[in-house]
C-alpha cells in the first residue's frame, strides 16, 4: 500500500502523510457518526492541563481554549468499530512495523472553532510506554486541517533519540519541559492535511499543535497500533486494560488486526529495546 518513498520517509523522519487514504464516502460516514457521538456523548473541556499552558498561551486564552476528547468511538458506532480493521490503513501500518499488528487505542481530538486547544511538544511514548519502538500513531483527518486550524507539527528525526523525560504528574498531561522543548526553540514542520489523509508517526516522534483559529472544526482521530510482541512497561505496565491518567490510556486494547500474538514465557520488561522515561516534576 505504501510506496518505498513513504516507508523511507517514516523511518528517516519519524512520520509520513498519506493523502486520500480514506475515500470521500468513507470519511463522510466516519465524520457523520463522529458528529453524532460528539453531540450525544461528548463533553467540552479546555484540553490538556498543566504548567505548559503558561508558556504556550496568552493569559486570556489559558482557561478559554476548547476541546472535545473522546476515547473508544467504537463503543458508540459500527463504522468506528470497523475502522480498526480498515484494510488500507492496516496495510500501511504493516508496511511500517511488520505483519503482526495489535490495535491499541482510538481517540478523538477535536478542536472547536476559534479557540480549539493547542498541544504542547511531547512524545506519545509516556502516555503508553511499551518495550520497543514499533508503535505507530495514525492521525486520521475528518476535516481539512490547514496550518491555521492547529495542524500537527512534528520534529523530523526526533524519534531516533528514543524516549525523553517528560513532565508528569496528576495535574498535567505529559509534556516536554518547555524551557528546552518549545516551538520557539526547536524547529518543527507543519503537516497540514485534507479530509481523508492520514499522518503516520512514531510514538517517539516529538510533535505539537497550535490553537485552531479558524471558524471551522478540526476533528482528527488518533488510532494507535503496535507490534504484537510488544508489551506495556512502566506506568502502563500494570494497567493496560483500563482508562487511567486523565482517561488517556485506553482499555481492552488487545485486538489483533494482522498476524498473531506470540505467547511469551516471561515478561519482556527490561528486554533489549526497552525504553523508559523518567518523570520530571510538574513544577519544573
Ligand atoms: O491533534 C493534534 O493536533 C495533536 C495530537 C497529539 O498531540 C497526539 O495525538 O498525541
For a ligand 1 pocket test, name from 104, 107, 150, 152 the mutation site with the most ligand atoms within 8 angstroms of its C-beta. Answer: 152
Q: How far apart are CA 90 and CA 258, in angstroms?
A: 8
> What pLDDT score was predicted for residue 247?
43
Spell out the per-residue pLDDT of the chain, length 284, in tens.
899 999 999 999 999 999 999 999 999 999 999 999 999 999 999 998 999 999 999 988 898 999 999 999 999 999 999 999 999 999 999 999 999 999 999 999 999 999 999 999 999 999 999 999 999 999 999 999 999 999 999 999 999 999 999 999 888 999 999 999 999 999 999 999 999 999 999 999 999 999 999 999 999 999 999 999 988 887 665 543 333 434 444 445 679 999 998 877 654 444 444 444 444 544 33
Residue of the nearest CA to atom 9 in ligand 1? 222
Tell me the C-alpha to C-alpha distance, in Å, between residue 15 and each of 12, 86, 158, 179, 257: 8, 20, 10, 25, 21
> What pLDDT score was predicted for residue 276?
46
* SS3 assignment, position 195: coil
b/e string for 143-173 if b means 16 or more Cβ within 10 A?
Answer: bbbbeebbbbbbbbebbeeebbebbbeeebb
The total domain count for the chain is 1
* SS3 assignment, position 3: coil
206 grid coordinates: 516529538
> What pLDDT score was predicted for residue 257?
96
Count of Cβ atoms closer than 10 Å to residue 280 Cβ = 17
Report the Cα 131 to chain-centroid distance in Å. 18
- Using the atom order of ligand 1, give the atom closest to the CA of residue 118: 3
Sign of CA dihedral 193, 196, 199, 203: positive
Residue of the nearest CA to atom 1 in ligand 1? 109
**Which CATH number fits the domain that encloses residue 73?**
2.60.120.620
The domain in which residue 21 lies consists of 4-280
> What pLDDT score was predicted for residue 187?
98
Q: How far apart are CA 184 and CA 236, in angstroms?
A: 31
How far does the centroid of ligand 1 lie from the alpha carbon of residue 56, in Å?
15
**Ligand 1 proximal residues by C-beta, below 6 Å:** 109, 119, 124, 150, 152, 207, 209, 220, 222
> What pLDDT score was predicted for residue 281?
47
* SS3 assignment, position 43: coil
Q: Smallest Cα–Cα separation from 209: which of 124, 104, 91, 86?
A: 124
> What pLDDT score was predicted for residue 266?
56
Amino acid at each position: 500500500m505504501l510506496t518505498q518513498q513513504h516507508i523511507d520517509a517514516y523511518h528517516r523522519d519519524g512520520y509520513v502523510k498519506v493523502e486520500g487514504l480514506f475515500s470521500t464516502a468513507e470519511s463522510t460516514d466516519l465524520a457523520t457518526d463522529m458528529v453524532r457521538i460528539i453531540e450525544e456523548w461528548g463533553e467540552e473541556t479546555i484540553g490538556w492541563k498543566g504548567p505548559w499552558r503558561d508558556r504556550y498561551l496568552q493569559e486570556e486564552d489559558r482557561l478559554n481554549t476548547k476541546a472535545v476528547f473522546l476515547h473508544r468511538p467504537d463503543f458508540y458506532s459500527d463504522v468506528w468499530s470497523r475502522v480498526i480493521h480498515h484494510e488500507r490503513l492496516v496495510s500501511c501500518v504493516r508496511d511500517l512495523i511488520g505483519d503482526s499488528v495489535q490495535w491499541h487505542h482510538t481517540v478523538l481530538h477535536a478542536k472547536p472553532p476559534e479557540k480549539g486547544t493547542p498541544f504542547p511538544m511531547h512524545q506519545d511514548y509516556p502516555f503508553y510506554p511499551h518495550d520497543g519502538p514499533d508503535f505507530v500513531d495514525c492521525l486520521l483527518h475528518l476535516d481539512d486541517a490547514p496550518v491555521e486550524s492547529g495542524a500537527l507539527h512534528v520534529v523530523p528525526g526526533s524519534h531516533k533519540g528514543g524516549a525523553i523525560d517528560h513532565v508528569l504528574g496528576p495535574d498535567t498531561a505529559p509534556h516536554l519541559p518547555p524551557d528546552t522543548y518549545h516551538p520557539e526553540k526547536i524547529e518543527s514542520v507543519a503537516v497540514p492535511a485534507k479530509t481523508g489523509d492520514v499522518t503516520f508517526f512514531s510514538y517517539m516522534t516529538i510533535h505539537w499543535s497550535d490553537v485552531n483559529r479558524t471558524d471551522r472544526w478540526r476533528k482528527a482521530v488518533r488510532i494507535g497500533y503496535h507490534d504484537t510482541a510488544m508489551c506495556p512497561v512502566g506506568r502502563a505496565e500494570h494497567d493496560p486494560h483500563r482508562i487511567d491518567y486523565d482517561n488517556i490510556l485506553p482499555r481492552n486494547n488487545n485486538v489483533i488486526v494482522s498476524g498473531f500474538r506470540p505467547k511469551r514465557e516471561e515478561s519482556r520488561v527490561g528486554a533489549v529495546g526497552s525504553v523508559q522515561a523518567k518523570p520530571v516534576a510538574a513544577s519544573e
